[in-house]
Structure 1
């Protein structure tokens, strides 16, 4: 659970399963705008926004805002709004790419009136809030007031939503899947206030919404996930799920790899798993000794790309540990993006 010290890694938190929760099954349809809201029948859920920003003086930043929901047991049948076994966690990070700093903050709450939730176009934990301006998820405003700074952004969709996997059904291993969609290119405009100084910032972002009751199989250790926004107007999203070292894979399944290429006009195609090759390179030691690969070579979609952390120290070290940070893309195409690594 989000509040448990035993779930110190993000992959461990989202791994396994619980038979009291609803299973993600193929053939179900994602319905919008209804499915932008929370799904308490499922165990885990997250709304995730990242971006690469630049201020009026040319200084560059990475930003992350994520809202997690974790069910402890199936929803109690009660009219009392305070009796709900739902825990919420919001995480916020700002990476100052010119100064080489990475600052983070997080807040946790049970669900309750005015505390946390995701419904009616509002996604919030106390005063940290993403608020839609209409029936659609975007345009929206993001407002975060934190000890590391204050971020106020207007978020608009430059490209339409993409359903991941098979019409939103994203299989991770036999019997483990999520419902998953993305907004692959967002326009971000607003202000960032730090150390008493407010700067105007602009940039581009990526948004994910995913929910599930079991993401990882028992023999899987974690994932490496990439969202890449290329300068030519295309996007790539890829992930691989790693098998635990020294563990047999009882289903005799290959390493799960998934990728999707989104064209300039918003059309997309899923890449064949055997046509995706991700090769880790140089590593950076995290605060607990984790060897996070901060340089990768990607061969996919007819391209050879080098993906590098824009700075190595972008580890998240709150209630659970993972690496989440801004990256640059070079090679056959140039661009920026975000990389998430768990289970190291």
Structure 2
């Protein structure tokens, strides 16, 4: 039996105990398990991915309730040479029976990078829409543009109160035919900040749902889509009900 020198043995044990494979954030069509925080970052050369927030907020003083949606879409064309981005922002005011919505779609001046924390930006009509953070701790703000959206804006921060939900148990949803899409959620994000509605700024709190998905063009190309809804209860359980649709 060959004996290793003690110093060499200690070195090998140290290397084995500290070595961990680092998942890449680059688009990988053969990946089978989501790895956090790496998946929060932009996936270069990804076909279609998004960072999606939606939920309900309440004025801390008056109790007025509002809904918001905020999402950055990223998709890449020409095998990594061109990046495109679409941003949606919406504010619902049940008291005033108003729904205000804005968006922008366009080619980015440069390729997005896979750095963390994620930092996404969009410019429209002199306004800057932002999304920053990772792993449930996000900061984002936007002011809607256009004559019908004057006086509508949001500036919010989130903190997770429930653990991340890896869909399919691995963070990859199997849509059949060998098609996998990365998918995880933070089902309850405690949210604070300001919401400006019809020119009035409200100090708000509430809960948002966050979806992170990537490799989604492969789903659409197979003629598969989905609709979903989520239910948040005061007692804290959260349910998501997806509905698969053949397109």
Q: TM-score, normalised by structure 1?
A: 0.56
Q: What is the count of residue pairs matched by the alignment?
A: 210
Label 1:28 to 1:232 Cα distance change in 2 as closer, same or farther (>3 A).
same
Is 1:102 the counterpart of 2:99 in the alignment? yes
Is 1:31 the counterpart of 2:32 in the alignment? no
Task: Please point out which of 154, 169, 172 is paired with 1:169.
Answer: 172
Q: Distance in 1 between matches of 2:136 and 2:246?
A: 37
Between Structure 1 and Structure 2, which shows a larger proportion of helix residues?
Answer: 2
Task: Structure 1: state its 5+ residue gaps.
Answer: 1-20, 77-84, 245-344
1:215-249 deviation digits (Å, cap 9, x = unpaired): 135444x32212222222111122121235xxxxx
Q: Distance in 2 between matches of 1:39 and 1:199?
A: 36
Shift of 1:110: 2.0
- Which runs of at least 4 in structure 1 moved beyond 4 Å after TM superposition? 115-118
Match of 1:74 in 2: 79
Shift of 1:176: 2.2
Q: Distance in 2 between matches of 1:189 and 1:32?
A: 24
Task: Structure 2: state its 5+ residue gaps.
Answer: 1-25
Shift of 1:123: 2.5
Match of 1:128 in 2: 129
Task: Please point out which of 103, 108, 111 is paired with 1:111.
Answer: 108
Shift of 1:156: 0.8
Task: Give SS of 2:244's match.
Answer: strand
Superposed, 1:225-304 pairs within 5 Å as 225-244=228-247
Task: Please point out which of 210, 224, 238 is paired with 2:227.
Answer: 224
Shift of 1:137: 3.0
Q: Distance in 2 between matches of 1:62 and 1:119?
A: 30
Task: Give SS of 2:39's match.
Answer: helix
Q: Distance in 1 between matches of 2:115 and 2:170?
A: 23
Q: Distance in 1 between matches of 2:84 and 2:122?
A: 11
Q: Distance in 2 between matches of 1:159 and 1:234?
A: 10
Is 1:63 the counterpart of 2:68 in the alignment? yes
1:116-143 deviation digits (Å, cap 9, x = unpaired): 77743212323211222xxx43322111
Label 1:199 to 1:119 Cα distance change in 2 as closer, same or farther (>3 A).
same
Task: Give SS of 1:200's match.
Answer: strand
Q: Distance in 1 between matches of 2:114 and 2:95?
A: 34
Q: TM-score, normalised by structure 2?
A: 0.77
